[in-house]
Structure 1
Amino acid sequence: MMTFLKSDLFLRFLGGFAIGAVGMVMLQPDEQPILSSPAIAATSAHHAAR
């Protein structure tokens, strides 16, 4: 098990995972787009018009 943990394959995987995790956190947009609010507003306005 220790041989696998010290192997080049595992260390490259671990390094790539760490770089990917940091990149995902840093490249996230500041404000998440709200996809459901226009649909909710449209359905509530449609019911209110009746």
Structure 2
Amino acid sequence: MMAFLKSDLFLRFLGGFAIGAVGMFLLQPEEPPMFGSTAVAATQSHGAAL
């Protein structure tokens, strides 16, 4: 087990995971996308067209 934990394959995986986790936190949008507002706007515009 210790040989696997010190292996190059595991260390590269661990490094890639750490870089990916940091990237996910740094690249998050400031405001979450509002999926409901587009659906409501689409149904309102469709109802107004009738």
Specify the TM-score bucket, using the shorter chain as the normaliser. Answer: 0.7 to 0.9
In the superposition, the TM-score normalised over structure 2's length comes to 0.74
Separation (CA, whole Å) in 2 of partners of 1:9 and 1:42 = 50
Separation (CA, whole Å) in 1 of partners of 2:14 and 2:39 = 42
In the superposition, the TM-score normalised over structure 1's length comes to 0.74
Which protein has the bigger helix share? Answer: 2
SS of equivalent to 1:21 = helix
Q: Which runs of 5+ in 1 are unaligned?
A: none
Q: Which runs of 4+ in 1 moved over 6 A?
A: none
Q: How does 1:34-49 map to 2 (within 5 A)?
A: 34-40=34-40, 43=43, 46=47
Identity of aligned residues (%): 73
Q: How many residues matched? A: 48
Which letter maps to 2:32? Q
Separation (CA, whole Å) in 2 of partners of 1:38 and 1:13 = 39
Over the aligned positions, Cα root-mean-square deviation in angstroms equals 2.1
Structure 1 residue 21 displacement after superposition: 0.4
